[in-house]
Every structure is written in structure tokens, then in C-alpha cells.
């Protein structure tokens, strides 16, 4: 269960659900070069009690037998999760045949099945999914399509990351903190986490809604945003479509981060790190494409975390609906994770293949590059083209027959690259994403909570019937804020592509998407 439930008697948060949210869903496992007789692995966050098995792997594949045998020898058992029914994709024969030329084992259809590890022998150690993969590699057993269930994050910049590593592996792509960063040896990057330095802070905006000052284009564009959802806002309400893709993603209103911003931690009213993220992202799309229809799909909680199976399930449903005739011109993914073994021989391709299905339908995919000041590949951004291509090849083989996948790093207001932004041969373009202004939820419906935290104004002196006070640092009820992260550079690019698509006279399709993307990238690269 995610989020808060209200007690029937007094409407206060149910402590049980709040406590459940505080339990870590993923753990960090660091495998050094000296650890076991294995290829070295990198830091990542994952759910230790689960394995994901790609449905690209046929049910009768020998890999499944090898996996069951190995798990049994470790004293564990592997059981399929049966608490929900997952969508399955149909696939044309020519699509499968093409993929088999790249991945001979992948004769099924894109998707994943979640399996739970449990003890089968009392003396066996506590099951851990990484131990299964590590043991398989030590024995020379190949398990294509079998992987950890990674815990990813939406991407605002934040310095108080729940996992620590010399090579950080997560962020929700905005930079965030509820208070200025303090450290005896703070990195300059930490400035982005402070009020006045680009951290989430209150701001007012007195200009017009972009839609009132922009000419309505002849063509329309649809931008889907997989994120924390989208709250109510006067700018967004006329353009947000909550019905066409209803039922995709997480749907329980009780744990909607855009309606209930404080679901975690002490009962102090502090706004959670991921709350408001999806609304902020949607507002940036709207600023660049004021008349584009925005489709918000929630897969992350108020902490900004999401589980890999939830992302896969949402993508499967999007592929189904797009191939049945619904339209998505641009998909914005201001989220990601770091893979523990991002090399072609040990990398699961399921998410990349699902995004390829959308791209083959003409959808441009725009991804944030991550906020850890590293060139370590961040996925799904690193599914795009690499320049130069690594000698061993990029982790996933792109056949090159779909609309573009664009990876976006962040720039500062003066045009320099933000110090927090990831970089590397897999980052294609940089756009403004630091100390940027956008929308935050405004209470417009019953049951939603004000987007305001527990920190109070530093001083107040009511006089003459006037409520006089200093600025309340976490009262966002005005509907706007400042934030930083590659999370926010990506939707600027997504909005630019959507606007270019709206201006194009050509029919929707791959060539139209490529042309619009090329124009935007050429403009941004100067």
C-alpha cells in the first residue's frame, strides 16, 4: 500500500499506513571488484525479495528451468505474484522476427512477471535476488531476461538521498530539500538544494497563462507524462486529459502526492520530496506547448520512488492503447535508475523494447539524464544513441527504425551546464532546468490538501486587520515554485518538440516526429 488513509472517526492520517510507507522498499547492494568470482557490479536500489522475469522469454525457455533449479539449490523457492492481473501485448510476426535478429532468446512479447523469493528450507539464508544473479554468473549460467526489480526515482535534484554511494545511482530529477544543506565538507553541488540556490521554493508569477498569449495551432499534440500525477491548477485544468488513459498507472486517490503532499516521515507537515513533481513537469510542458493536451500517468509516490514493475505495466498499457488508435506524440520520462551491470550481456531489454514499440508508432520519448554529476549511464535516458558508441557497444541494440529517444541534461539560467547534471556520450542535449519556475498544485477539489508545509513564516505582526508576515518558505498555495533538476529540463524539450509537431503540416508518423525532433535539437545545440 502507498500513501495515507484517513481514519473514519476524525479524518487524521492512519499511522499504520504512514509507518508502512517508511519501510524501505529497496536496499542498496554494492559489489566490489574483490567480491566473489564475478564481474564487478555497481550500486543500485532494488527489492531484495523479488525477481523480474521478462515475458520476452518464452514460457518453455530452458532459462526458466535453470532459474528454478538454481533457486532450489540455494534453499529458496520462486513463486509468481498473483495479486493482480497484468496486461499482455499482442505482437505482429514481423516485429518478433526483427527482434530475434538482435536478441535470439527474445521470442515472447514485451512485459515482465514479478516473482517472489521465499525460504524453502529452514536453514537457508534470507532470500536476496542479487545473490541469485551473482551465483548464476559464478557458475556460468546465463539467465537472459531475468533481473532485479529496481527501485527508481523521479528526478529533481536533492542532496539528502536515502542511499549513499561513491557513485550515486538515483534521483527523482529535481533537486530538493526541506531545509538548506548543511555539511562540514559540502560539495558545491549542494547549493542547488538551498533556498535561493535552486532548491524548491515559493515564488509568485503575475504574467498570463501561456495559452492566452499563444496562437492556437491548427494541429494538436498529446504529451504523456509518467510521474507523480498532476494536481489541479488554473493553467493546466483546461489541457490535462484525465479520462482517455484512465486506469493506467497508480490510481488510488488516498496516496496521490499531488493531493496529499505530506505522507512520509514525522508528523511535522514537511512536504515530501517527490510531491508536486508531476505538476511542475506538466507546467513546463504547458509553457512551451500551451495548447498541447497533457496526459498525466502516476507511477511514483510522494517520496518520488517507483518500482520497475509499475513502470513496465504502465508502458504495456500505453503501447496497447496507442496501437489501438489512441495518440501520444511525446512521452516525457523525468525519472530513471542506475543498473548494476549496464553491459549488453547482462542487461534486461524489456523497458527499451516497450519504448521502441511506442517510438515505432511515432511517439518521441524524452528522458531526464539524472542529477548525480556522473557519466554513469542512467536509464531509460541511456537507451538513446551514444556518441561516440562504446567499444563494447551500448547496453541495448537500437534498430533505428522508430521516432527519436532524446536524453536531456540541465543548464543553469546563464546557459552553462548545471554542475549536478549527468553528462556523457549518452546525453544528447542540455536545456534549462536549474532554478526554473513552474506550476504546483492548487486546491480546487474536495479532499485535497493545501500544498503547504509545516514551516511557518519567520515573523508575523497582524495590524489594522491585515495579516502581515514574512514569506512562508513552504506555502505553495499561490500555485508556483522554483525547482532544479534534469527532471525539469526534459519537459522543456518535450514541450518544444510538441510545439514543433503542432506546427508541422505533415500527417503524424515517424518521419514527422524525426523532423520535429531534429529541428529542436539543432536549435538547442546552436
pLDDT digits (tens, 9 = 90+) for 144-196: 999 999 999 996 776 544 333 333 333 444 544 333 333 344 689 999 988 89
Q: Is the dihedral of CA 432, 434, 437, 443 positive or negative?
A: positive
**Beta bridge partner(s), residue 153:** 305, 336
Reduce the DSSP state of residue 13 to 3 states and report it.
Answer: strand
Distance of CA 158 to the CA centre of its chain: 15
pLDDT number for residue 21: 55
Q: Of 164-168, 313-317, 453-457, give the lowest mean pLDDT range.
A: 164-168
Average pLDDT, the chain: 87
Q: What is the pLDDT of residues 470-507, one digit of tens each?
A: 999 999 999 999 999 999 999 999 999 999 999 986 78
Mean pLDDT of 450-472: 91
Q: Which residue has the higher pLDDT, 251 or 12?
A: 251
pLDDT of 13 > 90? The answer is no
Cell of 96: 518478433
Q: What is the pLDDT of residues 184-225, one digit of tens each?
A: 446 899 999 888 999 999 999 999 999 988 888 777 899 999
For the cut 50, the answer to whether the pLDDT of residue 33 exceeds it is no
Q: Percent of the chain scored above 90 by pLDDT?
A: 71
Beta strands in 55-97 (DSSP E): 76-80
- The pLDDT value given to residue 163: 32
pLDDT tier at 1, thresholds 50, 70, 90? very low
Active site residue 277: yes
Q: How confident is the model at residue 346 (pLDDT cuts 50, 70, 90)?
A: confident
Q: What DSSP state is assigned to residue 123?
A: T
Contact 494, 366 (CB under 8 A): yes
pLDDT tens-digit profile of 277-312? 999 999 999 999 999 999 999 999 999 999 999 999
Instruction: Determine the pLDDT at residue 7.
Output: 36
pLDDT tens across 59-104, in order? 999 999 999 999 999 999 999 988 777 778 999 999 999 999 999 9
Average pLDDT for 240-267: 92
Other beta carbons less than 10 A from residue 260's beta carbon: 21
This model's pTM is above 0.85: yes
| 146, 68 contact by CB (below 8 A) | no
Q: Choose, from 128, 131, 227, 348, the residue flagged as catalytic.
A: 227
Q: Is the peptide bond before 223 cis (omega within 30 degrees of 0)?
A: no
pLDDT bucket at 269, cuts 50 / 70 / 90: confident
Backbone angles phi, psi at 62, to 5 degrees: -60, -25
Is 227 a catalytic site residue? Answer: yes
Report how far residue 42's alpha carbon sits from residue 123's, in angstroms, rounded to the nearest whole number: 29
The correct answer on CATH 3.40.50.200 for the domain covering 201-452+470-525 is yes
Which position among 176, 277, 291, 339 bears the catalytic label? 277
**224: part of which helix (H) or strand (E)?**
strand 222-227
SS3 for 293? strand
How close are the terminal C-alpha atoms of the chain, in Å?
47
Among candidate residues 43, 273, 275, 487, the one labeled active-site is 487
Q: What is the pLDDT of residue 187?
A: 81
The band of 391, judged by pLDDT with boundaries at 50, 70 and 90, is confident
Give the model's pLDDT for residue 264. 86
Contacts of 62 (CB under 8 A, 6+ apart): none
Length of the chain, in residues: 526
Domain with CATH 3.40.50.200 in the chain: 201-452+470-525
To the nearest 10°, report the CA torsion of 230, 234, 237, 239: -100
Interacting residues of 57 by C-beta distance below 8 A, sequence separation 6+: 63, 64, 105, 106, 108, 144, 145, 146
The per-residue pLDDT for 356 is 98
Q: Distance between CA 265 and CA 19 in Å, rounded?
A: 8
The answer on pLDDT for 2 being more than 50 is no
Q: Which residue has the higher pLDDT, 452 or 328?
A: 328
- pLDDT category, 392, cuts 50, 70, 90? confident
Output the pLDDT for position 185: 43
Q: What is the pLDDT of residue 22?
A: 52
pLDDT exceeds 70 at position 231: yes
Of 24-33, 78-87, 176-185, 431-440, which range is least confident? 176-185
> Rounded to 5 degrees, what are φ and ψ at 182?
-125, 130
Amino acid at each position: 500500500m502507498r500513501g495515507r488513509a484517513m481514519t473514519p472517526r476524525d479524518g487524521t492520517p492512519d499511522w499504520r499506513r504512514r509507518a508502512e510507507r517508511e519501510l524501505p522498499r529497496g536496499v542498496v547492494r554494492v559489489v566490489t571488484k574483490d567480491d566473489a568470482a564475478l564481474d564487478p557490479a555497481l550500486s543500485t536500489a532494488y527489492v531484495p525479495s523479488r525477481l523480474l522475469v521478462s515475458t520476452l522469454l518464452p514460457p518453455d525457455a530452458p532459462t526458466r528451468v535453470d532459474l528454478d533449479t538454481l533457486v532450489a539449490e540455494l534453499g529458496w523457492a520462486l513463486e509468481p505474484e498473483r495479486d493482480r492481473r497484468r496486461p499482455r501485448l499482442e505482437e505482429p510476426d514481423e516485429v518478433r522476427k526483427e527482434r530475434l535478429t538482435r536478441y535470439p532468446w527474445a521470442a515472447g512479447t514485451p512485459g515482465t512477471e514479478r516473482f517472489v523469493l521465499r525460504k524453502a528450507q529452514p536453514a537457508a539464508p534470507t532470500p536476496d535476488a542479487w545473490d541469485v544473479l551473482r551465483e548464476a554468473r559464478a557458475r556460468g549460467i546465463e539467465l537472459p531476461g531475468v533481473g532485479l526489480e529496481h527501485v527508481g526515482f523521479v528526478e529533481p535534484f536533492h542532496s539528502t538521498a536515502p542511499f549513499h554511494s561513491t557513485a550515486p545511482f538515483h534521483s527523482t530529477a529535481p533537486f530538493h530539500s526541506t531545509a538548506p544543506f548543511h555539511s562540514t565538507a559540502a560539495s558545491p553541488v549542494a547549493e542547488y538544494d538551498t533556498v535561493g540556490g535552486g532548491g524548491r521554493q515559493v515564488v509568485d508569477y503575475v504574467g498570463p497563462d501561456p495559452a492566452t498569449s499563444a496562437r492556437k495551432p491548427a494541429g494538436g499534440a498529446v504529451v504523456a507524462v509518467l510521474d507523480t500525477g498532476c494536481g489541479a491548477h488554473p493553467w493546466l485544468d483546461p489541457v490535462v486529459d484525465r479520462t482517455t488513459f484512465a486506469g493506467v498507472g497508480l490510481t488510488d486517490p488516498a496516496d496521490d502526492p499531488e493531493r496529499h503532499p505530506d505522507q512520509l516521515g514525522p508528523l511535522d507537515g514537511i512536504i515530501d520530496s517527490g510531491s508536486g513533481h508531476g505538476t511542475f513537469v506538466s507546467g513546463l510542458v504547458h509553457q512551451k506547448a500551451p495548447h498541447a493536451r497533457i496526459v498525466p500517468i502516476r507511477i511514483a509516490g510522494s517520496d518520488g520512488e517507483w518500482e520497475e514493475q509499475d513502470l513496465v505495466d504502465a508502458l504495456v498499457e500505453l503501447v496497447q492503447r496507442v496501437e489501438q488508435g489512441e495518440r501520444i506524440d511525446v512521452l516525457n520520462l523525468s525519472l530513471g535508475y542506475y543498473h548494476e551491470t549496464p553491459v549488453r550481456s547482462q542487461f534486461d531489454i524489456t523497458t527499451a523494447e516497450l519504448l521502441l514499440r511506442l517510438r515505432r508508432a511515432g511517439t518521441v520519448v524524452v528522458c531526464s539524464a539524472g542529477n548525480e554529476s556522473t557519466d554513469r549511464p542512467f536509464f531509460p535516458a541511456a537507451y538513446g544513441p551514444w556518441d561516440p558508441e562504446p567499444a563494447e557497444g551500448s547496453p541495448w541494440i537500437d534498430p533505428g527504425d522508430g521516432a527519436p529517444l532524446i536524453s536531456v541534461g540541465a543548464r543553469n539560467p546563464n546557459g552553462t551546464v548545471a554542475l549536478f547534471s549527468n553528462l556523457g556520450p549518452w546525453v544528447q542535449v542540455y536545456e534549462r532546468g536549474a532554478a526554473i519556475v513552474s506550476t504546483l498544485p492548487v486546491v480546487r477539489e474536495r479532499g485535497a490538501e493545501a500544498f503547504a508545509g509545516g514551516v511557518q513564516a519567520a515573523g508575523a505582526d497582524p495590524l489594522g486587520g491585515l495579516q502581515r508576515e514574512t514569506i512562508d518558505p513552504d506555502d505553495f498555495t499561490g500555485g508556483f515554485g522554483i525547482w532544479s533538476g534534469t527532471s525539469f529540463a526534459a519537459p522543456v524539450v518535450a514541450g518544444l518538440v510538441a510545439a514543433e509537431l503542432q506546427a508541422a503540416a505533415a500527417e503524424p508518423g515517424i518521419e514527422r516526429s524525426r523532423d520535429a525532433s531534429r529541428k529542436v535539437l539543432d536549435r538547442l545545440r546552436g
